[in-house]
Homo-oligomer: A and B are copies of this chain.
């Protein structure tokens, strides 16, 4: 399948958030041309036959969003338990319900999340949850790249499962990866963490986990171990192959040095940190330290949305409030976090920017909607006034999966909604 997207504004993210007029050619799963408008002559000279030629009407083509921390299957629990702090919410509401979920439930809830990802321009998710094979299955069926992170903790799964998953879920088709990881310091014993560190070294895997999400988490870790979570992980030599942390609201200066030493990624989750009242991450300090910062929505029962536009606004907005500086975390940096930096931490450098040879993971942003007009500055429009309503095409691996409000292929959205409601009706107290 060869596709030509012409008459576009292109924000390739290969050169910050610079926008140029032109067109993009896609041959099967990869981009073959990004540049000036091509004459019909030039195209025929190159001998390419396009199956699809789309007039983009001056709309913006940009790399798709990479959601660098989520628990997709928690979409079933959206609005099930709100207005509670993290630990109460987990222990009294979420953990008891999760204990009831079957693998099939995880698959069905994940499919609901995939609909929201596609409608919001997300083509790759860094997912941590039980029954990861089910979320990977939903991803593959819906045409979204799955990057799983192990959620092991002292309650499960068996340690032997980590390596099995790692081998099973790291495939070579570009649609499934798996990294060593664990839920969080506060749900793991030191022995388990030591074993994971050794396993990661043996497998050559980076390691990711929830890290310093709340002040309580950090304080209790210091009480238990005499050091912060990051320092504990470092003392166990956890990051020999890199990795990073989700949330990272309360990293100390010493923690930041560990992140720099191992080139770790901070995945920021401002929507979740806001809704759970966890706090505001010091994003400017992390930027000033040159750390790779990516953006995740977290799961939709703590957010409750999988909307990268809201996250982008919150990244810059909360940085401005944190620093009391309206110049903090400018849009070009935020757009890098939501695209290129996410790809980097997820091992998806093959689909980070729009350039020849890269995987065709592309979205189209509708400029023919009032919130994107006038066009004084496109990057600012996207970050400060953009909405998922502006995503009118989502392409992954060269295949258009979502266009103008419709899910393409044999996706039956209504059936997915009905199934999710049926499952929740069964479990809801």
Q: A residues near B, CB below 8 A?
A: 76-80, 82-86, 89, 112-113, 115-116, 119, 271, 273-277, 279-280, 300, 303-307, 310, 313-314, 316-318, 320-321, 323-328, 330-331, 368-371, 373-378, 380-381, 384-385, 387-389, 405, 413-414, 416-417, 420-421, 423-424, 428
What are 7 of the A-B contact pairs (CB < 8 Å)?
A: A79-B378, A274-B320, A275-B320, A304-B384, A305-B371, A373-B421, A374-B421
Contact B384 A417 (CB under 8 A): no
Contact B413 A300 (CB under 8 A): no
Q: Do A381 and B78 contact each other (CB < 8 Å), given the known contacts A326-B84, A417-B374? A: yes
Contact B82 A306 (CB under 8 A): no
Which residues of B have CB within 8 Å of A86? 326
Contact B277 A328 (CB under 8 A): yes
Copies of this chain, whole number: 2
| Additional pairs, 10, CB under 8 Å, beyond known A79-B381, A274-B320, A374-B421 | A83-B326, A119-B371, A119-B389, A274-B318, A277-B328, A305-B385, A306-B371, A310-B313, A373-B417, A376-B424
Which residues of B have CB within 8 Å of A325? 85, 277
Give the dominant DSSP class at A's interface. helix
Expressed in whole angstroms, the Cα–Cα distance for A363 and B80 within the complex equals 25
Contact B275 A89 (CB under 8 A): no
Partner of A321, one of B277, B373, B413: B277
Contact B413 A327 (CB under 8 A): no
Which residues of B have CB within 8 Å of A369? 119
Q: Nearest residue in B to A273 (C-beta to C-beta)?
A: B321
Contact B389 A388 (CB under 8 A): yes
Q: Which of A276, A320, A323, A424 has the most CB of B within 10 A?
A: A320
Q: Do A84 and B371 contact each other (CB < 8 Å), given the known contacts A277-B320, A377-B79? A: no
Contact A303 B384 (CB under 8 A): yes
Contact B385 A388 (CB under 8 A): no
Expressed in whole angstroms, the Cα–Cα distance for A417 and B369 within the complex equals 9
Which residues of B have CB within 8 Å of A78? 373-374, 376, 381, 384-385
Expressed in whole angstroms, the Cα–Cα distance for A85 and B328 within the complex equals 11
- Shortest C-beta distance, A369 to chain B (Å), equals 7
Which residues of B have CB within 8 Å of A79? 376-378, 380-381, 384-385
Contact B374 A413 (CB under 8 A): no
Expressed in whole angstroms, the Cα–Cα distance for A80 and B376 within the complex equals 5
- Shortest C-beta distance, A330 to chain B (Å), equals 5
- Shortest C-beta distance, A367 to chain B (Å), equals 8
Expressed in whole angstroms, the Cα–Cα distance for A371 and B417 within the complex equals 10
Contact B275 A307 (CB under 8 A): no
Partner of A377, one of B80, B112, B314, B423: B80
Expressed in whole angstroms, the Cα–Cα distance for A356 and B113 within the complex equals 39
Q: Do A413 and B370 contact each other (CB < 8 Å), given the known contacts A310-B310, A328-B277, A331-B82? A: yes
3 tightest CB-CB pairs across the interface, nearest first? A389-B389, A79-B380, A115-B370
Q: Nearest residue in B to A323 (C-beta to C-beta)?
A: B277
Expressed in whole angstroms, the Cα–Cα distance for A414 and B373 within the complex equals 10
